[in-house]
Structure 1
Amino acid sequence: MENCAVCNKNAPFKCTACKSVNYCSVDHQKKDWPKHKINCRPFKIATSDELGRYLICTRDIPAKSVIFIEQPLVIGPKWECTESPDFPCVGCFKPTPINGNKCPNCLWPVCQTNCIGLKDPQMHGVECFILCMRRNTNQTFKYRSEVLLTLRCLLLQWKYPDRWEKVMMLESHDQQRLGTRYYKEADERIVSYLMENFWSEIDNIEKELGKKIVEKRDKKMLHRICGIMEVNALNIALGHENDEEVSALFENACILEHSCLPNCFYTFDTKKNFKITMRAGRTIKKGEHLSIMYTHMLWGTHMRNEHLQTNKYFVCKCDRCIDSTELGTNFSAMKCIGDIGKTCGGVLLPKDPIDLNSEWFCDRCDVSIPNQQIEIILTNIEQEVDDLMMPSVSRKNQALIGPQDFETLIEKLSHLLDENHFHMFALRHSLIQMYGHKENYMHHELSDEILEKKITMCEQLLNILDKIDPNTMRLTLYTGIVLFELHLAILEQNRRQITKGIESNKNILLLAQNYLHRGKEALLLNQDIIQGRQLIKSFERAENGLQSILNA
Structure 2
Amino acid sequence: MENFLGDISRSVQLSDDINRLLEVRTNPHSGRGVITKIDCSENQLVFLEEPLVLGPSNDPTSEFCCVLCYKILGTTTYNQCESCSLPICSEKCLNQSSGIWHLRMECPLLAKSRSSISAQVLLSTRSWLAPVRALILKLIDKPKWGQLLQLEHHLNERRNCAILQRQQALVWFAIQQLAVVETTQEEIRQVCGIFDSNAFRFGVSREIRALYTLVSLINHDCRPSTRVIFDTQFKARLSARRTIRSGEELTITYVSPLLNTRERREKLQRSKHFTCTCTRCEDPTEFGTHFSSLRCPKCIKGHLVDNDLPSCDNCSFKTTKEKVQCLMTALSLKQEKALRKSDSTSLENILGIYLKALSDNHSLVIDLKQKLLSNLNRENKLQTWKRRLQLNQEVINLLDRIDGSNSRQMGFLQYQRQCFFVIRLAHMQRLKTTCQNGVQESDEYERTDWLIGELEKSLSLATKLLKHDINCPEELKRHQVK
Give the TM-score taking structure 1 as reference length. 0.71
Cα-to-partner distance string for 1:104-135 (whole Å, 9 max, x where unaligned): 23333332356417853358952663475363
CA contact (8 A) 2:38 2:246 kept: yes
Matches within 5 A, 1:187-206: 187-188=165-166, 190-199=167-176, 202=179
* Aligned residue identity for 2:147: K
Question: Counterpart of 1:30?
Answer: none
Matches within 5 A, 1:423-442: 423-429=364-370, 431=372, 438=379, 441-442=381-382
Task: Give the Å deviation of 1:280.
Answer: 0.8
Question: Counterpart of 1:106?
Answer: 84
Structure 2 CA distance for aligned equivalents of residues 536 and 430 of structure 1: 24
In 2 relative to 1, CA 528–410 (structure 1 residues): closer, same or farther, beyond 3 Å? same
In 2 relative to 1, CA 482–36 (structure 1 residues): closer, same or farther, beyond 3 Å? closer
Structure 2 CA distance for aligned equivalents of residues 415 and 507 of structure 1: 31
**What's the Cα RMSD here?**
4.0
Matches within 5 A, 1:79-98: 79-80=58-59, 82=60, 86-98=63-75
Structure 1 CA distance for aligned equivalents of residues 377 and 128 of structure 2: 45
Aligned equivalent of 1:408, options 349, 353, 371: 349
CA contact (8 A) 2:81 2:87 kept: yes
2:193 counterpart of 1:227:
yes
Task: Give the Å deviation of 1:251.
Answer: 1.6
Task: Give the Å deviation of 1:69.
Answer: 1.1
2:421 counterpart of 1:421:
no
Structure 1 CA distance for aligned equivalents of residues 230 and 191 of structure 2: 23
1:220 is paired with a residue whose SS is helix
Aligned equivalent of 1:481, options 396, 402, 416: 416
Q: How many residues align?
A: 458
* Aligned residue identity for 2:175: F
CA contact (8 A) 2:436 2:448 kept: no
1:146 is paired with a residue whose SS is helix
CA contact (8 A) 1:106 1:135 kept: no
Q: Which is greater in Rg?
A: 1
In 2 relative to 1, CA 279–163 (structure 1 residues): closer, same or farther, beyond 3 Å? same
2:466 counterpart of 1:526:
yes
Structure 1 CA distance for aligned equivalents of residues 457 and 119 of structure 2: 58
CA contact (8 A) 1:74 1:153 kept: yes
Matches within 5 A, 1:188-337: 188=166, 190-199=167-176, 202=179, 214=182, 217-237=183-203, 240=204, 243-270=205-232, 272=233, 274-336=234-296
Which consecutive residues of structure 1, in runs of 5 or more, have no partner in the other structure? 1-32, 206-212, 352-357, 392-396, 545-552
CA contact (8 A) 2:421 2:455 kept: no
In 2 relative to 1, CA 506–76 (structure 1 residues): closer, same or farther, beyond 3 Å? closer
2:321 counterpart of 1:370:
yes
* Aligned residue identity for 1:309: Q
Structure 2 CA distance for aligned equivalents of residues 514 and 416 of structure 1: 37
In 2 relative to 1, CA 122–350 (structure 1 residues): closer, same or farther, beyond 3 Å? farther
Question: Counterpart of 1:56?
Answer: 35
Give the TM-score taking structure 2 as reference length. 0.80
Structure with larger RCO (C-alpha < 8 A, sep 6+): 2
Task: Give the Å deviation of 1:287.
Answer: 1.9
Task: Give the Å deviation of 1:154.
Answer: 1.3
Task: Give the Å deviation of 1:299.
Answer: 1.1
Structure 2 CA distance for aligned equivalents of residues 378 and 284 of structure 1: 39
* Aligned residue identity for 2:358: L
CA contact (8 A) 1:90 1:108 kept: yes
CA contact (8 A) 1:172 1:225 kept: yes
User: Per residue, is there more helix in 1 or in 2?
Assistant: 2
